[in-house]
Every structure is written in structure tokens, then in C-alpha cells.
Amino acid sequence: MNFLSMNVYINAWLDCSHPFISIHNKFDDDVLLHFNEDKVNQLFESGDLCIDDFQNTDSDHQLTVIAELLAIQSNERIKIQLAELQGGLKRRAPKAVTKFPNQIAIQTTKTSKQIIPISTLQAAAP
């Protein structure tokens, strides 16, 4: 028997006016996952879940359902975090780039340094 299936259980109320699915710790009843009515309806409509998933009492099958529910929740959290990151990138103002019309270059020789306008260097280039 798998450690996960021995320590958690599914609480699914599907045939009621406000269906929900939750996964709880068996020992302290902490909620590890909770899907509200909207999310449950979305999962059934998309085919990610079906009623038969919750009617099978085989522990291996229940473990598969638990793993799928946890994966769905993780996927949703990742989507939310990515959307927040992308929103933050879009809101950030671009850095201003200042162009100087009379840019200069420093020309160094062994004996001296000379400051010359870049336009002079470009004109002298072959």
C-alpha cells in the first residue's frame, strides 16, 4: 500500500446543489486540496474527471484519482503564478536609452590620450 493512500482521503459531494471535492489528511483532517462548485463543474465538463472516478473503492484507483487531483491543483497554481509574473513584466517601464549626438571616443597611444568625436572616426574609416 502506498504511503499517500494510507494518509489521505477524498471527500467528494457531487450529487448536491453545491458540489465540491476535497482531500484531507486522515490524522488531523487538514485540507490538502479543495475544489469549489465552479471548479468541479469545469473538471466534469472538460472530461478531466467523471463520476465513475469516485465510485471505485479500489485503493490503487483512489490513489490515481488523488494524484490527478493534486496535479490539477498544482497546474492551476503554476498558471496563476505565471500570469502574475507576465503581468509584472508588462507593467514594468522600459529603461530609457539616452543617445548623445556628439558621442566621443578616447583614442589611446603609448604616450597620450586623445578625445575625438565619433563622427570624425566614422568619416576617417575606409
Range of the domain at 7: 3-91
Displacement of CA 14 from its chain's centroid (Å): 28
pLDDT of residue 116: 56
Within a domain: residue 39? yes
Within a domain: residue 104? no
Amino acid making up residue 18: H
pLDDT of residue 57: 85
Within a domain: residue 75? yes
Nearest to 104 by CA among 117, 87, 94: 117
Within a domain: residue 109? no
The pTM (predicted TM-score) of the whole model is 0.62
User: pLDDT tens track of the chain, all 126 residues?
Assistant: 555 557 889 999 998 999 999 999 999 989 999 999 999 999 999 999 988 888 988 888 888 999 999 999 999 999 999 888 887 766 665 565 555 555 555 555 566 655 555 555 555 555
Burial group, residue 23, by CB count within 10 angstroms (0-12, 13-18, 19+): buried
Query: Into how many domains does the chain fold?
Result: 1
Within a domain: residue 13? yes
Within a domain: residue 82? yes
Within a domain: residue 115? no
Interatomic CA distance for residues 124 and 126, integer angstroms: 6
Within a domain: residue 117? no
